[in-house]
Structure 1
Amino acid sequence: MIMKLGLLLIISFLCLTAKASSPPDEYMVKPNCRYRCGNVTIPFPFGIGDSCYLNVWYSVNCSVNMSSGAEKPFLNHTKLNLELLNVSLEHRTVEVNSPIASYDQRQGESNTSQPSIDLDKSPFLFSRLDNIFVVLGCGQAKLMDHENVWADCTSICNNSYPAQGRNGFNFCQTPIPSTDSYYLNNYLVGFTRGCEGNNYSNSTTHAFLVDRHWFSHNSTKPEDITRVKYAPLSLLWKTKSGDNASSDCNRIAYYNPMMGLYVHCSCSCPLRHEGNPYLPKGCDHGMHFFLDRL
């Protein structure tokens, strides 16, 4: 009896401490499909090539730089054409490079606005939880959805602070308040010109939505961000009614006036299994034990 108890304790300990590797990348895609472009893994429902993706919105083009030979993935839909930086099946998010809005205070009108990427009728949405609104330089900018102002940020130029500044001086950042809806499918960045004679009127203001985790690691060099004119932001994807989602996904239908009828598809592999729940039998590639899943 004591020996059996000891054996059970040893097995339990091994289950708790065993660290297994993730399944090979080829198990994350459909058969005979590419699973990587450059250094980015492309799991289903995304895919490279015909019949490798869920629908046209998830089609990925692996672009090759003719001079360097480097590969970069892009969301291939003509309405998007965004560089794809990362795909998270766990959080149902993609990280993409998005253009940064800029406003020349010396030449601009007193008030102006610039539209975001238009995600209307696509399965993608801007996540208010994963992104923050940032203003670099001197000036004021607002994040708006039609007539609603979701975030407002003012940055004051002050030479007493280093170039990277601190929140409110030389740059500012603010979360997007949570309301009944945590997502946006488009927005406007509105700029307001500063008063003549102050630091605002002779500078360029940059404003953009950006992934909060990325910005926390890159905010010390804002000049590098504005130089490339793009910044990573997180989009969440929703499975729309009529999509052929895997049976491993739990479907909950709901209606959103902005999005129409959608199916919220919560996908995850069973306890101690790893794989891609968006694929038929995608979680059947082995059992894995992790401390945080027991």
Structure 2
Amino acid sequence: MKRKHLIMACTALVAVAGVYALGRWSATSTASSRAAEARDAGMPQTDALPPGSAAPATRRIKGGPLPPPTAPLGTTFADLQARANAGDADAARRLVHDLDRCGRLRAAEWNNAGTTNTLLERKTEGMNAAQLRTYQALLDAMEVRQQAADKNRELCGGVDDKMLDTLVANIAQAARLGDADARACYLGQGPLYNVRSLLEHPGVLQSYRRDATAMIESGVAAGDWRVVDLLQRAYEPGAQGLLAGMLGSDPAQHYRYLKLYRLGAEPHRASQLDRQIAAVAASLPPEQRYEADRWAQTAFKESFSGPSTTTTPQGWDACTF
């Protein structure tokens, strides 16, 4: 019984503010004043721009030491945001990771509470030894999860909706500054990673179109297998998603990136990829296949190393920070 009370006490929920809409997207006549407010508050400036405006230039710099990992984001946000806006890639990466953790906290606590209540309501009477061991293991796992949630609550102290609403803009900024994790997430999800924010700021879709093109080029040049996998799937006829919608279906491009991806594949994925390649190749004229094969070989030798399928296992998540 003491064990039960201890776990129930550990699972007490602390309310975390939900991410709500921050107000209507302003017209062009008010964009400059909003940008000034964003600079004063340390917020990223790209979301304050009207649709079609050019993003502020970014230059990667090396900043000083970051705050301690346990420092509450509510107290470090303004400094990290200002440094990220100035081009500090380490600050941008840290800001994305912390904001993402805080954005997930409310859902994690809700799920933990439901799972714990269900677990505690189970009757142990009549369980055999093996079942009791399994039940104890589940209790221990819930304690570990609760301890992680407690740490996240400490990290997210002082975080408000306005800070959480900057997550997508900060993912974009970290990606522009060369962070591979942020680049994969932004290409794969873009503004859709926070739909509430997208509905309030539809102009960010124009920023996505502009930024995604540059990120594709930098990702391929950097030998990022995640970018290659995202591209081969986006170009496939019938593909869905923001990147697919921007690029449009193109069997020749699909074949090109699929062939590059195959060059780095591990043996256990090779036969499946070969069947996909053969199916696409049947719809292409010989000259397109030849050009794509030559491009893939050249790109592989110049920029890529390591197995493509280890970096992007089946079902991989582009937004795992």
> Do Structure 1 and Structure 2 share a fold, with TM-score over 0.5?
no
Q: TM-score, normalised by structure 2?
A: 0.26
Q: TM-score, normalised by structure 1?
A: 0.28
Structure that is richer in helix per residue: 2
